[in-house]
Amino acid sequence: MGITLHGIGVVGGIAIGRAHLMSHTEVDIAHYEVPANQVQTEIARFDNAVRKTRKELEMLWGSIPENAPAELGSFLSLHIMILNDATLSREPRHLIETQHCNAEWALKQQLDVLLAQFDEIEESYLRERRADVVQVVDRIFKALAGQAATPHLPAAQSENTIVVAHELSPADMVLFKDGAVTAFVTDVGGATSHTAILARSLDIPSVLALHNAHQIIEEGELIIVDGIQGVVVIDPDEKILAEYKRRQQAFQQEKRRLKALKGAVPTTRDGVAIELQANIELPLDMPQVKANGATGVGLFRSEFLFLGRETLPSEQEQFFAYKEVLEQMGNLPVTIRTLDIGADKMPKWSDHSTFANPALGLTGIRLCLAEPNLFRCQLRALLRASHYGNLHILIPMISSIHELQQARMHIELAKQSLTDEGIPFNRNVKLGVMIETPAAAIMVNNFLKQVDFISVGTNDLIQFTLAVDRSDDMVAHLYDPTHPAVLYLLSQTFRAADRIGVPVSVCGEMAGDARLTRLLLGLGLRKFSMHPAHLLNVKQKVLKTDLVEIQPIINKMLKCEDPEKMRDLLEQLNAL
Ligand code: PEP
Ligand code: MG
């Protein structure tokens, strides 16, 4: 039949196997009165269920294999902690005693109270822990009903097992040990869910947020999980199957080859050292940064802490997120970009209306300067975090020196407020600007005199230089990173930075496109920052490049006006 479902691809790779539906039976929650002389027996029944649940969780914890990701242990400990908390293990006893209700009803009432408290929480990580409380309570309900809480996997079979579930808890994922499960898909789950975090550390193909996969897919059905594209194909025909088998093999071969490069120092064949850093959106991207051997975070798009939520993140919440990334990187540089919202990234809590040309509106630094409280809150969080690592602050969407000066003034005010409060921070934290508007690229010399570093945002620089909307399919063919105007601006920017001795990097998509690595090297770039998934690919290209050898073709490219010829030259460059 070949039905295709789309969700969030969490871990890359392709798996082909038989579906195993993992279901959690729903328990009906009865409500009845308990006679006064039975109250103590009912309390004992509740205590027994809690004890049984604790034993189960501890057993699961004890059976975590040595090679399992560390998160699995911590998430299970969290469930044990939730269970042991008096609000769950003691409060329902009190309700049974005072209301003479059955244990299930007492537990349900207490769960409702706890969930209402969770709904009040603003901080997204804590709010997500609501699911953990529900999962633990679900186990107690099952223990009260005398049902098994842990679903079972089918006995070892010749074909790969792909788990299909509405939702998975960390306890369910203990069963995925020792390769028992090849891939999994779920109906629910967001980017910060425990399921997503565990998926990343287990490193098996997975697609979340498929909405109704659990209802559509049948037990034993052949399915393909494509974690790269976030796609699940149910009951594929021979042709599709053959194509995915081919892609699977190619992916695995390439992954093996590239993995061997993780520890290699990125140096060109003629001995020039190149820096390869990673772009991240949230602290939970960090395992990927490390797994791919990045030597710094070149762009932390902080706006992702602000998106997809009803309210603003507090200074404290931001501080924890920044500190976590800085601590994980030790002495290596971490470049955190201040809020870059607006245009396609307008959060729910913002009341700024969208105009006909949102990309030319109140975005990036413009919005921050228009909302000084918002900006100051972020700057305080950043400066506080600077005490814990090697922080670089990066200002987005700058188009005039005046904006840089105003941003600097806000940083000074934030520093002063921290000093007044006796809060430690790094007084020499580095400050840089994004070069992503033509104005900033043309006037780059002025900026270079006033900053510690610059980072070129090619995504926007191409969009604004060529007047081509980066997200409009209709003009996608005109969005050309090798357009002469783009190459001219890039080469001028790299040369100016080199002359003045200010570090320059590229953090737009061009930096992660291995077909453009030699071109950027030839134009003078020595520092790249990209999605961690591209890092080893780019490193491979760096290792195979001789800067002297590529120069004649680069010179021709800089003089080339014809797009067709430019494509030829790029091919020649990559064929060297
Ligand atoms: C860029 O514009 O190249 C960039 C890195 O920023 P963003 O993609 O977040 O706009
Ligand atoms: Mg940009």
Structural contact between residues 489 and 483, judged by C-beta atoms closer than 8 angstroms:
no
Is the CATH number 3.50.30.10 carried by domain 3-24+151-240? yes
**What's the helix, strand, coil split of the chain in %, to 5?**
55, 15, 30
Q: Which of 304, 339, 346, 460 to mutate to test the pocket of ligand 1 (most atoms within 8 A of CB)?
A: 460
Cα–Cα–Cα angle for 311, 316, 321, rounded to 5 degrees: 90
CA distance 253 to 219: 30
Class level of CATH domain 36-145: mainly alpha
* Radius of gyration for the chain, computed over Cα atoms and rounded to the nearest angstrom: 27
Catalytic annotation present for 101: no
Task: Read off the DSSP letter of residue 236.
Answer: -
Structure token pair of residue 20: 């195993």
422: alpha, beta or left? (left if phi > 0; alpha if psi -120 to 50): left
335: Cβ below 6 Å to ligand 1? no
436: Cβ below 6 Å to ligand 1? yes
For residue 335, give the H/E element and its range. strand 333-337
Atom index in ligand 1 nearest the CA of residue 459 equals: 3
Enumerate residues 6+ apart whose C-beta is below 8 A from 151: 22, 23, 24, 172, 175
CATH code for the structural domain at 275-575:
3.20.20.60
458: Cβ below 6 Å to ligand 1? yes
CA distance 459 to 301: 14
pLDDT of the residue at 273 = 98
Tens digit of each residue's pLDDT, the chain (576 residues): 578 999 888 777 899 999 999 876 566 788 899 999 999 999 999 999 999 999 988 888 887 777 676 777 878 888 888 898 888 889 999 999 999 999 999 999 999 998 888 777 655 556 667 878 888 998 899 899 887 766 666 665 667 999 999 888 777 887 776 678 899 999 987 655 667 767 766 778 999 889 889 889 999 999 999 998 899 999 999 999 999 999 999 999 988 889 899 999 999 999 999 999 999 988 888 988 998 999 999 999 999 888 767 788 999 999 999 999 999 999 999 999 999 987 666 666 666 656 677 888 888 999 999 999 999 999 999 999 999 999 999 999 999 999 999 999 999 999 999 999 999 999 999 999 999 999 999 999 999 999 999 999 999 999 999 999 887 768 888 999 999 999 999 999 999 999 999 999 999 989 999 999 999 999 999 999 998 988 999 999 999 999 999 999 999 999 999 999 999 999 999 999
Structural contact between residues 453 and 503, judged by C-beta atoms closer than 8 angstroms:
yes
524: Cβ below 6 Å to ligand 1? no
Phi first, then psi: what are they for 275, rounded to 5°? -100, 130
pTM: 0.70
Where in the chain do CATH 3.20.20.60 domains reside?
275-575
Residue with tokens 């972020």: 378
Structural contact between residues 87 and 109, judged by C-beta atoms closer than 8 angstroms:
no
Catalytic annotation present for 507: yes
CA distance 385 to 379: 10
Question: Which string of DSSP letters, residue by residue, matches 515-538?
Answer: GGHHHHHHHT--EEEE-GGGHHHH
337: Cβ below 6 Å to ligand 1? no
**Burial call 9-47: b when 16+ CB within 10 Å, e when fewer:** bbbbbbbbbbbbbbebeeeeeeeeebeeeebeebbebbe
Q: What is the 3-state secondary structure (H, E, C) of 447-466?
A: HHCCCCEEEECHHHHHHHHH
pLDDT of the residue at 203 = 77
Between strands 430-435 and 453-456, the pairing is parallel
Closest Cα to atom 8, ligand 1: which residue? 459
Structure token pair of residue 175: 């069963």
Where in the chain do CATH 1.10.274.10 domains reside?
36-145
Atom index in ligand 1 nearest the CA of residue 301 equals: 9
Which residue in 20, 166, 194, 531 is the catalytic one?
A: 194
Closest Cα to atom 9, ligand 1: which residue? 301
Structural contact between residues 407 and 382, judged by C-beta atoms closer than 8 angstroms:
no
pLDDT of the residue at 349 = 63
460: Cβ below 6 Å to ligand 1? yes
Atom index in ligand 1 nearest the CA of residue 299 equals: 5
pLDDT of the residue at 573 = 97
How far, CA to CA in Å, does 184 sit from each of 140, 189, 458? 26, 12, 36
Atom index in ligand 1 nearest the CA of residue 510 equals: 3
CA distance 87 to 85: 5
> In this structure, how many other beta carbons lie within 10 angstroms of the beta carbon of residue 169?
25
Q: Which of 436, 490, 513 to mutate to test the pocket of ligand 1 (most atoms within 8 A of CB)?
A: 436
pLDDT of the residue at 195 = 77
Where in the chain do CATH 3.50.30.10 domains reside?
3-24+151-240
507: Cβ below 6 Å to ligand 1? yes
